């Protein structure tokens, strides 16, 4: 099977996760996470799990396919919750209280697995390894969302792609904060072509 390549243009793990679906919510969507294996493969590419964890979780998923499928379904719900929260932020609106409550419940579960480990003379955040817990691929996503929400210097630059037919979110980390598109080659180019055509028509 060909490995799917995920575009990671969100500048934050949680936004890369909301961008695992293409198109826009008001119209046609292209789902990229069709099975639990896709979620793991995205997790490796985005950096929420290692390839060793992916291999172990895949082996577990073969033994308990129904549980893995349920976790994927929950992940897609989480993705929409996070999308609504950051979409609200991008439009300078207050996220829905119910979405925040759902997010916080998931966050609390994820944070129960967090720890601080020592490497030489420094410490860093890490996760208790649990390669039987199918949700572990989402822990770092939830933490990333918590970090982004509590970092005003980044949160104020959360944007939605300027293409009306694209819902992708990103943190605009450009120096003069002028980023408009999720991706210059994709949406940036499409919008330029459209503008050009409109000009020619008029």
| DSSP characters over 71-91 | HHHHHHHHHHHHHHHHHHHHT
Stretches 63-71, 73-81, 82-90, 164-172: which one binds Zn ion (CB under 5 A)? 164-172
> Do residues 170 and 34 touch, judged by C-beta distance below 8 A?
no
Q: Is 191 in the site for Zn ion (CB under 5 A)?
A: no
- With CB under 5 A as the contact rule, the residue among 161, 169, 171, 191 that binds Zn ion is 161
Query: How far apart are CB 179 and Zn ion at their closest, in Å?
Result: 11
Task: Between 102 and 166, name the residue whose CB sits nearer to Zn ion.
Answer: 166
Nearer to Zn ion, 54 or 160 (CB): 160
Tell the residue number behind the tokens 């996070």, with chain if given: 82
HSE-CB of 133 using CA atoms within 13 angstroms: 14
Q: Minimum distance from CB of 182 to Zn ion (Å)?
A: 3
Contacting range for Zn ion; rule: CB under 5 A; set: 5-13, 35-43, 49-57, 157-165: 157-165
75 touches Zn ion (CB under 5 A): no
Query: Which run of H or E residues covers position 40?
Result: helix 36-46
Please return the burial class of 75, using the count of CB atoms within 10 Å of its CB with bins 0-12, 13-18 and 19+: buried
CB of 187 to Zn ion, least distance (A): 3
What span, in angstroms and rounded, lies between the C-alpha atoms of 71 and 65?
Answer: 10
Nearer to Zn ion, 110 or 161 (CB): 161
Q: Which residues bind Zn ion (CB under 5 A)?
A: 161, 163, 166, 168, 182, 187
């Amino acid at each position: 099977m060909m490995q799917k390549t995920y575009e990671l243009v969100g500048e934050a793990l949680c936004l890369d996760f909301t961008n695992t679906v293409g198109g826009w919510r008001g119209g046609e969507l292209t789902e990229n996470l069709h099975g639990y294996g896709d979620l793991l493969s995205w997790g490796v590419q985005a950096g929420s799990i290692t390839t060793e964890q992916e291999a172990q979780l895949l082996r577990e998923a073969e033994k308990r396919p129904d549980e893995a499928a349920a976790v994927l379904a929950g992940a897609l719900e989480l993705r929409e919750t996070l999308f609504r929260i950051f979409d609200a932020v991008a439009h300078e609106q207050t996220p829905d209280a119910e979405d925040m409550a759902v997010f916080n419940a998931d966050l609390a579960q994820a944070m129960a697995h967090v720890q601080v480990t020592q490497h030489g003379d420094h410490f860093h955040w890490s996760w208790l390894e649990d390669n039987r817990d199918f949700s572990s691929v989402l822990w770092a996503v939830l933490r990333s969302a918590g970090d982004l929400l509590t970092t005003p210097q980044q949160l104020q630059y959360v944007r939605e792609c300027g293409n009306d037919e694209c819902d992708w979110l990103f943190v605009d980390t450009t120096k003069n904060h002028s980023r408009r598109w999720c991706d210059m080659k994709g949406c940036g180019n499409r919008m330029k072509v459209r503008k050009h055509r409109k000009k020619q028509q008029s």
